[in-house]
Structure 1
Amino acid sequence: MTLALPEGLPPGRCLPCGPVQVWASDEFPDDIEELWLRLLGEQDTTGLVPLLWPGTPKGPSPLQRVDATSLEDVLAAGFAEYRRSRLPLWTGPTPAALPEGVEPWPHDPGPPFDRWPGLAQPMPVTSADPTPQEASARTLARLIDEGWFGLDGCRLLLVPAARSSDAVALLGLDMDAPLPLVCALLRSWEERYGARAMGVIGRELHVSVARPPVEASQTELLALEHVLSTADNIVDDPPTPFPEYAARLAGRTHWWFWWD
Structure 2
Amino acid sequence: MLGRLFPDGGEGRTLATALPPGDVVWPDPGYAGSVAGHRPAFWLSDEAVAGELWTELRGEHGRSGLWPVLLEDSVQPWSAGQIAPDAVAEIDNYHPAAFMAEVWSDWTEKAHVDQLELLDPFGPRCPGPAPSGELAADPGVVADWYAGMVAERRTPLGLVAAERGADALAVMGWQGALNHNEWMVPLAAVVRSWEDRFGVRVVGMGFNTLDLSVAAPPVTPEHALHVAAEHWTFCPDSVIYSAGTLVDYAEQIRGRNAWSFWWD
Report which of the two structures shows the higher radius of gyration computed on alpha carbons: 1
The structure with more helix, counted as a fraction of residues: 2
Distance in 2 between residues matched to 1:163 and 1:188, nearest whole Å: 11
Is the Cα–Cα contact under 8 Å of residues 150 and 204 in structure 2 kept in the other structure? no
User: Could you say if the C-alpha distance between residues 79 and 218 of structure 1 is closer, same or farther in structure 2, counting changes exceeding 3 Å?
Assistant: same
1:29-55: CA deviations, max 9, x gaps? 2xx221111111111111110011232
Which of 37, 47, 51 is the equivalent residue of 2:55? 37
- Aligned pairs (5 A) from 1:225-236: 225-229=230-234, 231-236=235-240
Is 1:111 the counterpart of 2:136 in the alignment? Answer: no
Which of 171, 195, 198 is the equivalent residue of 1:193? 198
Is 1:155 the counterpart of 2:153 in the alignment? Answer: no
Is the Cα–Cα contact under 8 Å of residues 61 and 67 in structure 2 kept in the other structure? yes
1:101-120: CA deviations, max 9, x gaps? xxxxxxx5523124222211
Distance in 2 between residues matched to 1:44 and 1:225, nearest whole Å: 30
Distance in 2 between residues matched to 1:246 and 1:184, nearest whole Å: 22
Distance in 2 between residues matched to 1:158 and 1:144, nearest whole Å: 15
Matched-pair identity in %: 29
User: Could you say if the C-alpha distance between residues 174 and 77 of structure 1 is closer, same or farther in structure 2, counting changes exceeding 3 Å?
Assistant: closer
Give 3-state SS (helix, strand or coil) of 1:170's partner.
Answer: helix
Distance in 2 between residues matched to 1:167 and 1:109, nearest whole Å: 31
Deviation at residue 144 of structure 1 after TM alignment: 4.6
1:150-208: CA deviations, max 9, x gaps? x32x3211111100010111112233143122111100000001101112135311111
User: Could you say if the C-alpha distance between residues 203 and 117 of structure 1 is closer, same or farther in structure 2, counting changes exceeding 3 Å?
Assistant: closer
1:196-230: CA deviations, max 9, x gaps? 1112135311111111011122111111111101x
User: Could you say if the C-alpha distance between residues 109 and 60 of structure 1 is closer, same or farther in structure 2, counting changes exceeding 3 Å?
Assistant: closer
Following TM superposition, where does structure 1 have runs of at least 4 consecutive aligned residues deviating by more than 6 angstroms?
none
Task: Give the corresponding residue for 1:132.
Answer: 139
Code of the aligned partner of 1:194: G
- Equivalent pairs counted in the alignment come to 232
Is 1:11 the counterpart of 2:21 in the alignment? Answer: yes
Select between 10-19 and 205-214 the one with higher mean Cα deviation. Answer: 10-19
Q: Root-mean-square deviation (CA), in Å?
A: 2.2
TM-score under structure 2 length normalisation: 0.79
Is 1:172 the counterpart of 2:176 in the alignment? Answer: no
Give 3-state SS (helix, strand or coil) of 2:260's partner.
Answer: strand
Task: Give the corresponding residue for 1:28.
Answer: 48
Select between 233-242 and 165-174 the one with higher mean Cα deviation. Answer: 233-242
Distance in 2 between residues matched to 1:53 and 1:205, nearest whole Å: 9
Give 3-state SS (helix, strand or coil) of 1:133's partner.
Answer: helix
Distance in 2 between residues matched to 1:144 and 1:50, nearest whole Å: 12
Is 1:64 the counterpart of 2:82 in the alignment? Answer: no
Task: Give the corresponding residue for 1:148.
Answer: none
Point out where structure 2 has 5 or more consecutive residues left out of the alignment: 28-36, 73-77
Code of the aligned partner of 2:170: A
Which of 247, 250, 258 is the equivalent residue of 2:251? 247
Distance in 2 between residues matched to 1:253 and 1:27, nearest whole Å: 27
Task: Give the corresponding residue for 2:70.
Answer: 52
TM-score under structure 1 length normalisation: 0.80
Deviation at residue 15 of structure 1 after TM alignment: 3.1
